[in-house]
Amino acid sequence: MWKNFSSIKLAASTSAPVKRRYSITADILAYERCSLQYGLFAARKYEPALAVQIFYGTVIHQVLDRAHAHFHGDIEGKAKGSLPSNADIDEYFNEVRNALNSRQIRASEAVREQALTVLKRFNALEGPTLYPRVLDTECRLQTDQQTYVLHGNVDVLAETAGVPKGEKGVEIWDYKGTKRPSLAAPDYDQYVFQMQVYAELYKRRTGTYPTRAILYFLNELSGDHEPKARPTNAVLVVKIDQAEVAKAIASFSATVSQIESCKSTQKWSDPKHPPPLETCNACDARWNCEAARKMKRTYKMLIP
């Protein structure tokens, strides 16, 4: 029967390479933290068991986003230019919490209390000077890098204080639901790196770099006493320097090619540096992780 077709010889076509999207936090930082874990969840698409961990970060970001919208006059019934009260924060907190609960994502009383406390403190301490300067929140920025698309979400764009009128200076704010890491911690460099990449994304969109980036560590506001002034450790100011930005982008691209090569071979190598201990402690792969064992991190099988 095949002889009917003996006059044709058809070569298989090769498909064009695909261009993938890479996010600073969800891809690059996650891969840098632990390439194995990234392979498991991001590439092989296993579903993490402990969705609970996202409660804190989500609540912090979404409540603050509402606080900004409140001041900006975007929330019905709230006057433009008014600061959210503690009761308003309570209300926004509950809205966000309800939505998370509907996904069965819950947090312990202690965690909820802490989140609410730092949010109220932030609102009272920073709100009066920050909110009026806010230009935009939750900005999605992205850019085409020829072989991949790079994207990220900036929490806040604010006018830089003290810049002479007419010279527009814009700074980037990023909220972290943690304490400030020590200088030596790998997180520290990662945060700085993240800000440099945001700076580049911002420039691609607007033509200029932001004046600086501010990392705000909200958990520095926790504790028994309400701080009267901003604790020194609450912010980390990152200078935006063209050479540093270029380095960050180059390192971003290098990580992307590592990820691509892992994807194509379907082999996920052990992390180059030991991941933070908390990462392993909460990792679903820890029950049988060769890499963790090599780092002398052993986990006894839990029952059930």
Contacts with ligand SF4, residue ranges (CB under 6 A): 34, 36-37, 271, 275, 279-280, 283, 285-286, 289, 291-292
Select the residue whose beta carbon is closest to ligand SF4 and give its number.
283
CB 38 within 8 A of CB 30: yes
Q: What span, in angstroms and rounded, lies between the C-alpha atoms of 167 and 34?
A: 42
CB 127 within 8 A of CB 71: yes
Complex with ligand SF4: residue 36 or 170, whichever CB lies closer: 36
Local structure of 90: helix, strand or coil: helix
Complex with ligand SF4: residue 127 or 271, whichever CB lies closer: 271
The footprint of another protein (CB under 8 A) covers: 1-2, 4-12, 15-16, 18-19, 44-52, 62, 65, 69, 74-76, 95-96, 98-99, 102-105, 135-136, 138-140, 142-144, 146, 149, 157, 159, 168, 170, 204-207, 266, 284-285, 287-288, 301-304
Task: Return the number of other C-beta atoms located less than 10 Å from residue 141's C-beta.
Answer: 21
Task: For the CB of residue 8, give the shortest distance to another protein in the complex, in Å.
Answer: 5
SS3 letters across 112-171: HHHHHHHHHHHHHHHHHHHHHHEEEEEEEEEEECCCEEEEEEEEEEEECCCCCCCCCCEE
Q: What pairing do the DSSP bridges indicate for beta strands 148-159 and 20-23? A: parallel
Q: What span, in angstroms and rounded, lies between the C-alpha atoms of 254 and 79?
A: 48
Interaction partner, residue 99 (ligand SF4, another protein, none; CB < 5-8 Å by kind): another protein
Complex with another protein: residue 207 or 229, whichever CB lies closer: 207
Complex with ligand SF4: residue 138 or 187, whichever CB lies closer: 187
Task: For the CB of residue 280, give the shortest distance to ligand SF4 in the complex, in Å.
Answer: 3
Interaction partner, residue 147 (ligand SF4, another protein, none; CB < 5-8 Å by kind): none
Length of the chain: 304
